[in-house]
Amino acid sequence: MKIKYSTNEKGFHIISKKDIFSGNYPKDIFKDKIVLIGYLDPKGSTLYKTGNKKYPKMHGVIIDANIIKQILEEK
């Protein structure tokens, strides 16, 4: 399967660890959702090359999110 990188982290709902631990998020946000947990290093050390011109580098968890999004949209 060729990965179609349709969006970067701005295309997904991201909640910080701080907000999770403080309870600062809508309580029903996870209902009927696929939840990925990962690290988005602001310094970019967790960025991987994608081979995509629009999004040449992405965090690993965002690559995973794009793959899941693609699988769900192709059903």
Question: Global pTM?
Answer: 0.86
Structural domain containing residue 22: 9-73
- Copy the structure tokens of residue 72: 């769900």
1 lies in some domain:
no
Q: What is the pLDDT of residue 41?
A: 84
pLDDT in tens, 17-47: 999 999 999 999 999 999 999 999 888 788 9
Q: How many domains does the chain have?
A: 1
Q: How far apart, in whole angstroms, are the C-alpha atoms of residue 14 and residue 44? A: 17
3 lies in some domain:
no
pLDDT in tens, 44-74: 788 999 999 999 999 999 999 999 999 999 8
Output the DSSP codes for 46-57: TEEE---SSSSE
Q: Are 70 and 3 in contact (CB under 8 A)?
A: yes
14 lies in some domain:
yes
